[in-house]
């Protein structure tokens, strides 16, 4: 059997998947967001990261984000308290042995992910499902680095996880039907909408979105428009809620570059070549909001374009 019987289902959740406990590797923005929605969905959550400080900071961020939801009337205080009680620290990878589903939410770097799987797989229940939140890397290739390719799947949440309704499910060539169905059930309990993508570089959303962002950076690089002109044009001319350069800063320019490199290498098409200006910003350490500077400078009271 893959799954355990469920008990203690909160009111309003319905009959839960037989997955009860979610392990998350990575307490950053994505891992924290996945923990946030999983706990609100009624699942027990175990969070692991490279240090106790990172885990503690991640849990504090989740608590603060839920408090803001309470303040805006989107969440009741009782539900927040119950959800936070379901979240626990897992300082050692061995602490994830109790998880029925473990989601890796580490940085978008295949080498890093492979190292995690090498350390993680021996610690897991042999029947546990292992998932990755990768936004672009081959699920088949990552699965082959584990001891359970049949129980490996891509569960790609959008950022910020508590706000965005979409989750991409991506099967590798070896992913079994039971694994896929269990992942679907889990995502549905989070009140998310599922789209299923084939295992091609960057899947659906980023296959379309990142080349657009890269083209916006080329438009800046070639002097067609300034940062402000490009973002204003796309907000008001295409009715986008956020300009492409502002969005790139929000995603992280290092992540944008990684995805473009995956597209360029995986599809061997020059139209996916990362813009040299994007490379330059990443080399400078100007990665967007998380570092204080990207296409905008966030160190003052209001963001100011850097070009």
Active site residues: 135, 156, 168, 206
* H/E segment holding residue 244: helix 244-251
CB neighbours (10 Å) of residue 223? 8
Q: Tell me how far apart the alpha carbons of residues 299 and 145 are, in angstroms, rounded to a whole number.
A: 41
Tell me which residue of 206, 196, 193, 222 sits closest to 256, measured CA to CA.
206
Rg of the Cα trace of the chain?
20
SS3 158: coil
The C-alpha angle with vertex 57 and arms to 63 and 27, in degrees rounded to 5, equals 90
Q: Residues 181, 193: contact at Cβ < 8 Å?
A: no
Instruction: Return the structure tokens found at 302.
Output: 């209001």
Instruction: Return the structure tokens found at 9.
Output: 């289902």
Burial class (CB in 10 A: 0-12, 13-18, 19+), 68: exposed
Q: Tell me how far apart the alpha carbons of residues 23 and 130 are, in angstroms, rounded to a whole number.
A: 9
Q: Tell me how far apart the alpha carbons of residues 100 and 4 are, in angstroms, rounded to a whole number.
A: 8
The runs of H, that is alpha helices, within 42-108 are 52-71, 77-85
């Amino acid at each position: 059997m893959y799954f355990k019987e469920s008990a203690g289902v909160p009111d309003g959740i319905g009959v839960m998947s037989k997955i009860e406990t979610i392990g998350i590797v990575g307490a950053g923005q994505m891992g924290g967001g996945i923990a946030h929605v999983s706990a609100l969905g009624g699942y027990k959550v175990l969070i692991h990261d490279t240090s106790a400080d990172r885990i503690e900071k991640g849990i504090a961020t989740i608590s603060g984000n839920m408090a803001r939801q309470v303040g805006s009337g989107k969440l009741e205080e009782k539900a927040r308290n119950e959800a936070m009680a379901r979240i626990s620290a897992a300082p050692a990878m061995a602490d994830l042995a109790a998880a029925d589903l473990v989601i890796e939410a580490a940085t978008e770097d295949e080498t890093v992910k492979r190292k995690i799987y090498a350390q993680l797989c021996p610690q897991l229940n042999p029947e546990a499902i292992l998932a990755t939140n990768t936004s672009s890397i081959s699920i088949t290739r990552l699965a082959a680095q584990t001891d359970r390719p049949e129980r490996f799947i891509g569960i790609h949440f959008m950022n910020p996880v508590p706000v965005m309704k979409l989750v991409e499910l991506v099967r590798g060539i070896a992913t079994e039907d039971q694994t896929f169905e269990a992942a679907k059930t889990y995502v549905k309990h989070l009140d998310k909408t599922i789209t299923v993508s084939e295992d091609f570089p960057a899947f659906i959303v980023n296959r379309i979105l990142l080349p657009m962002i890269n083209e916006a950076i080329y438009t800046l690089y070639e002097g067609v428009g300034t940062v402000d002109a490009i973002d204003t044009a796309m907000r008001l001319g295409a009715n986008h809620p956020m300009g492409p350069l502002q969005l790139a800063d929000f995603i992280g320019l290092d992540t944008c570059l990684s995805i473009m490199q995956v597209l360029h290498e995986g599809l061997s098409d020059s139209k996916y070549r990362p813009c040299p200006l994007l490379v330059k910003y990443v080399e400078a350490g100007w990665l967007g909001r998380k570092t204080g500077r990207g296409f905008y400078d966030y160190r003052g009271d209001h963001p100011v374009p850097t070009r």
